[in-house]
Structure 1
Amino acid sequence: MRPSHNASEQSWCALYRAGAVSAGVAVVLYVAALALFTLTPAPPESGGRAMLEYVDAHRASYILRQLLWLTPSLFLMVVFLALAVAVRRHGQGLAAVAAVIAVMSWAVSFAWPTTGDGSLAMVVLSDRYAEAATESEQAPFVAGAEILDALNGVPAVIGVLQTVGLLLVSLLMLRGTFPKPLAWLGVATGVVGIAAEVLRPVLGWGYATYGLLLFVWLAWVAVALWRLAASSHLRNPS
């Protein structure tokens, strides 16, 4: 006998709950990163040498900031996997594509050398710079810092792919399973996010619009996934 639809949904309850918790944790980490970014001294706008000296002077807070920006990527992989599974019956092919694009793009964040607000590699360069005895010995580390600083300011392919994955999932959410307002917020966040990632070098603080939309969307997703897990369990309790 083939399993019923309710039984199939019941089997995914744990993933939905994990996605809900992961979305909530991601929001908390992002808010903490934003708070730390606001409260700590701003890094220099340019200059590899100045950046390395800044990192050396604010080592602990700098490392914490990078970890707070980077760690949510792990939780967002779970969030988008849960969302793709939840909307799969509205289009299995598109759900699979959305899952691959979203999950892989967040996974690649761990291999990308910058976070958008700096780089953990900058800490290593700062240590080596401090150990160097002469300017000629320091020069390679200064050059490396300037490269990382430049990468922070250019559009990253993975950033665009992350927003494309969000948009595809949200388009499937419009077909059902989740509240329509949440789905439309996801569509808006995806569209604004794509534009923000592409135009990042010229937007300045305007880029924060995408970040705020993402925070609100993720918080709502956390609630929606938890409710989905609860309703699936009630329809077919173990």
Structure 2
Amino acid sequence: MATPSRATGSRTADRAVGLADPSWAGLYRLGGLSAVVFVLLVVIPVTLVFAVPVAPVDGRALLPYIAAHKTVYLIELVCFVGLSVPALVVFGAVSVALKDASRSMAAVGGLLGVASEVIALALGSSPQSLHGGLVVLSNSYAEARTDAERAGIVSAADALIAATNAVSWAGILTATGILVLSLAMRKGIFGQVLPVMGVLTGALGIVSEALRPMIGPAYLVHGLLLPAWFGLVGWNLRRLGRRGAP
């Protein structure tokens, strides 16, 4: 049986070579579960795209669309905005897992990731022309009695659509957080594939978010890499959680 001093020395040596602190196993498991939830919250609305027509980006067409597909629109809104909650846990878990591998980069990457998700929750919108205010405007549009009233509501809707589809600082911060954390993963805690994939996801994400109004469908590449990165991170966090389980 190992003595307490040997056990302590062993844990210190493990952390010195970049192994995650096993005392945080519960957080790693929660982070792994949160990553699965994140991926599901992406898959659900993407699947719904095949069930209903794609939402238009023009206010005059979008408001009647929302009225006709309100349930689907609300599900998509809740999923895309709500995925920031599990993302908060994932960023926190990854940051803690990397704290002994690269303390400064883990802290900066985790802070950027958490801040980005808090901003996204505060905005309550998504770049797919999803915004809770548009649901309210859709109801007002349906109840409007004159063309002048409808024109004013359409103008307000167009302003919200422009805001949700503009450059997303929350998205840029998310991508930057992924990039920094992935650079910290080079110690080998998360294997060899994830750091490379994370650097690619983060770098491409920064460019995609900054140029989103101009790149059009090319944004989809980043949109696919992001849940793939979270899924792979979740698998690794669950592995670390099992390793540190009593």
Of 209-218 and 21-30, deviating more is 209-218
Q: How far apart, CA to CA, are the structure 2 residues paired with 1:114 and 1:150?
A: 11
In structure 2, the gaps of 5 or more residues are: 13-19
Pair 1:201-2:213 in alignment: yes
Match of 2:105 in 1: 94
Pair 1:169-2:220 in alignment: no
State whether residues 81 and 125 of structure 2, in contact with CA within 8 Å, keep that contact through their aligned partners in structure 1: no
Q: What amino acid is the match of 1:169?
A: L
Q: How far apart, CA to CA, are the structure 2 residues paired with 1:224 and 1:186?
A: 13
Of 4-13 and 223-232, deviating more is 4-13
Instruction: Give aligned-pair identity as a percent.
Output: 36
SS of the residue aligned with 1:38?
Answer: coil
Match of 1:35 in 2: 47
Q: How far apart, CA to CA, are the structure 1 residues paired with 2:120 and 2:50?
A: 23
- Tell me the CA shift for residue 195 of structure 1: 1.1
**CA deviation profile, 1:174-220 (whole Å, cap 9, x unmatched):** 12311021111111110111111111112221111112112222111
In structure 1, the gaps of 5 or more residues are: none
Of 124, 147, 156, which residue of structure 2 is paired with 1:144? 156
Q: Which consecutive segments of 4 or more residues in structure 1 shift more than 6 A?
A: none
State whether residues 125 and 164 of structure 2, in contact with CA within 8 Å, keep that contact through their aligned partners in structure 1: yes
State whether residues 26 and 72 of structure 1, in contact with CA within 8 Å, keep that contact through their aligned partners in structure 2: yes
Q: How far apart, CA to CA, are the structure 2 residues paired with 1:164 and 1:206?
A: 19
Indicate the RMSD between aligned Cα atoms, in angstroms. Answer: 2.0
Match of 2:231 in 1: 219
Q: How far apart, CA to CA, are the structure 2 residues paired with 1:123 and 1:81?
A: 33
Match of 1:59 in 2: 70
- TM (normalized to structure 1)? 0.91
Q: What amino acid is the match of 1:207?
A: Y
SS of the residue aligned with 2:148?
Answer: helix
Of 90, 95, 99, which residue of structure 2 is paired with 1:79? 90
- Tell me the CA shift for residue 113 of structure 1: 4.6
Of 157, 168, 184, which residue of structure 2 is paired with 1:156? 168
- Number of positions where the alignment pairs a residue of Structure 1 with one of Structure 2: 233
**CA deviation profile, 1:134-171 (whole Å, cap 9, x unmatched):** 23333432222001111232211111111001101111
